[in-house]
Amino acid sequence: MTTIYLIRHAEAEGNLYRIAQGQYDSNLTGRGWRQVRALEKRFAGISIDAVYSSDLYRTCATASALCRPKKLPLIRRRDLREICVGDWEQRTWGDIFRNYPDEMNDFSFHMDRWKIPGAETPQEVLARVRAAVEQIAGENPDKTAAVFSHGYAIRLLLANLQGVSLADTGTQTPTGDNTAVSVLETDGNGLRVVSQNDNRHLLTPEFLAGEKVRKRANALEPGLWFAPLDPRAQGALLEDCARELNVSVGRLTDETGLSLAGFLKEEPVGLLQMAGEPGRISVAYIRPDCRKRGFGVQLIGQAVQYARSAGSGELLSAVLPPESAARPFFLDCGFVPESENRFVMKIGFDPEILGKS
């Protein structure tokens, strides 16, 4: 009997920042790395003969939970990738919901009819992922392999193996949590699902002791969308921000770097500004009545994408004196103190995981 552990990657930036990551190469979050450590402990006593992963960074990083302690090579396969979402790649789910409400509904609930420019269809994803897993099973007769892939791709495969049509997958087969484990078996006569979406390693007292109660949206839950700041149209937001930061509105409108307004539906509720070196945040502001709803971290998501595209491997916070009420927010987002008044977050990729060491 051949056994396949089919495992979703740990929490990645797109999951936290509410960005459609598809085949965009995103990093794991701090919470994601904690999930990797929990996964390693779960598999400590389980014998694994081979480890396969999609070639995207977030799955390769998650697969390190098994490869490193078990000293197994990682076999990277492009055909285990997440669905390519074409024109949606790297856009926020708030932007996608605003511009493509019908297509977004199909993406979640009517996969048989979802199709947008530049994207794979769910049918194409199912075909390549099923063929890949069947080939892996054939390469490992009477052995045990771990296969790391992605939420949408795994969801399509599990439904198909259980006889659920593509039309019904959206309503009958849920997406597993990050690092959820499913088990497949085959005796050479086709794959069968033994169990699915088991996240018991994330429910241990040890793991939960490090969890902070917070607003964490579902991956596809609409959030903010962003547009370049228009000082005239977003004047009230600028005035509120300037008043709270005790600076002039002119100081906010004189920035020469990135200036984005974040919108909830059509209402401006946040402001992100980056000035000087590309990795330095000068302003990250959410309107007081919209705080503690998971919107602030989406500003950080935009900053990460901007800084990484400019070649920066880290983000620096604005000046945060000890009395600043924003310090806990930046710590919660994964920043660590660099000096008394500055916090930093590393956003670069591990060369070893990239396969470039």
In tens, the pLDDT along 90-101 reads 999 999 999 999
pLDDT exceeds 80 at position 122:
yes
**Encoding tokens for residue 121?**
């269809």
What is residue 47's predicted lDDT score, i.e. its pLDDT? 97
CATH number of 225-354: 3.40.630.30
Start and end residues for every CATH 3.40.50.1240 domain found in the chain: 2-208
Encoding tokens for residue 30?
Answer: 């701090």
How many CB atoms within 10 Å of residue 231?
14
**Given the structure tokens 């019908």, which residue do they identify?**
102
Q: Is the pLDDT of residue 270 over 80?
A: yes
Burial degree of 140 (CB within 10 A; 0-12, 13-18, 19+): middle
Threshold 0.75, pTM exceeds: yes
| Sign for the pseudo-dihedral over CA of 64, 66, 71, 77 | negative
**Rounded Cα gap, residues 166 and 108, in angstroms:** 11
Phi-psi region of 148 (alpha: psi -120 to 50; beta: other; left: phi over 0): beta
Whether 69 has a pLDDT exceeding 70, the answer reads: yes
Are 10 and 17 in contact, with CB atoms under 8 Å apart? no
- Residue 224 burial (CB < 10 Å; 0-12/13-18/19+)? buried
The residues that bridge with 264 in the sheet, in sequence order, are 267
Collect all residues with Cβ–Cβ distance below 8 Å to 154 and sequence separation of at least 6: 6, 8, 129, 175, 176, 182
Q: How far apart are CA 264 and CA 278, in angstroms?
A: 26
Strand 225-228 with 192-198, pairing: unpaired
pLDDT-derived band at 357, boundaries 50, 70, 90: very low
Q: Are 317 and 346 in contact (CB under 8 A)?
A: no
Q: For strands 267-274 and 258-264, give the pairing.
A: antiparallel
- Tokens linked to 61: 């990083």
Rounded Cα distance, 115 and 123, in Å: 10
- Ranges for all domains in the chain classified under CATH 3.40.630.30: 225-354
Whether the pLDDT of residue 17 is over 90: the answer is yes
Contacts of 9 (CB under 8 A, 6+ apart): 28, 32, 56, 58, 59, 61, 62, 148, 149, 150, 178, 179
CB-count exposure of residue 164 (10 Å: 0-12, 13-18, 19+): middle
CATH superfamily of domain region 2-208: Phosphoglycerate mutase-like (3.40.50.1240)
Determine the length of the chain.
357
Q: What is the mean pLDDT of residues 242-267?
A: 89
- Give CA–CA dist 252/257, Å, rounded: 11
What is the pLDDT, as a whole number, of residue 255? 67
pLDDT in tens, 310-356: 999 999 998 888 888 889 999 989 999 998 888 999 999 999 898 75
Looking at the DSSP assignment, which residues form a beta bridge with residue 227?
261
pLDDT at 217 over 70: no
Q: What is the pLDDT of residue 253?
A: 85
pLDDT above 80 (res 220): no
DSSP state of 179: T
